[in-house]
Amino acid sequence: MTLAREKKFIREKMDRVLLKEFLKGRTERAGFGGCDVSRTPMGTRITLHIERPSLVIGRKGRTIRKITRDVKDKFGFDNPQIEVQEVKVPELNPQIMAEKLAQSLERGWHFRRAGHSTVRRIMDSGARGCQIILSGKITGPRHRVEKFKDGHIKYCGEEKNKWMREGYSAAKVKLGMIGVTVQIMDPEAKLPDEIEIIPPSVDEEEIEDSGDEVQEEKEETPDEKEDTDESEEVQDEIEEMDIKEESEDEKEKEDDGEDD
């Protein structure tokens, strides 16, 4: 049973790889940016990410219907449904950029010029990081590898699987084949070492409660009022005693003057 299941998974993966290569060849002129395959109760849904969808759909949908029939006949999918989605920012799609870089190399661009210009276009579009790997017979009969990179790049771990997108293409030049690998980090990537401090949110009720507390603090309590009243009474008694003492002193002085 286990071997049968493993063979089934391997066969499904191989079918998806072959399907991707088939769709890539049929939509190469339109800017193939990848495909997603999912099974639904109604059949098999295939989503194509295309730079120029009009070239894939065709006039009155003829091209897309023909591709759907070919996919059904060649791969045996049950009721395939192909959906075309436009890639809004082609510079952030690694498959499209790998295809464009391979075409530039085939037209005779120098590999350094092509690599640096591609990295600059990707970073100017908002990517957090980019790496381009060229491998093959670049400048001579011997195999070599050239890398162009900029920004933040993850090479391993969960962050790489989650935020790094990869595309691959091949360029046919006079010396041989050159493999083109483009890796782009998502502009919305959030890494573990990035900490965002969120200020505490104060509700309106809390604000009103705090305002009421301030008003209560400003208002005097009954005990404080009693204390102030007692202090005023004491001060009045002291003033009256001082007045009586002054009047008694004046009377004594008058009596002394009469005796003299």
Higher pLDDT, 99 or 224: 99
Distance CA 108, CA 58 (A): 31
CATH at 47: 3.30.300.20
User: Each residue of 152-182: pLDDT tens digit?
Assistant: 999 988 888 999 999 999 999 998 999 999 9
Flag whether 123 is in a domain: yes
User: Each residue of 34-80: pLDDT tens digit?
Assistant: 888 888 888 888 999 999 998 888 888 888 999 999 888 888 888 88
The two tokens of residue 160 are 């790489």
- Judged against a pLDDT cut of 80, whether residue 244 lies above it is answered with no
Domain boundary, last residue among 56, 88, 120: 88
User: Each residue of 183-234: pLDDT tens digit?
Assistant: 999 998 888 888 888 887 766 556 555 655 555 555 545 555 455 555 666 5
**pTM score of the predicted model:** 0.71
Helix, strand and coil content of the chain, in percent to the nearest 5, comes to 50, 20, 25
103 plus 79 within the same structural domain:
no
40, exposed or middle or buried, with CB in 10 Å at 0-12, 13-18, 19+? exposed
Q: Structural domain of residue 63, as residue ranges?
A: 7-88
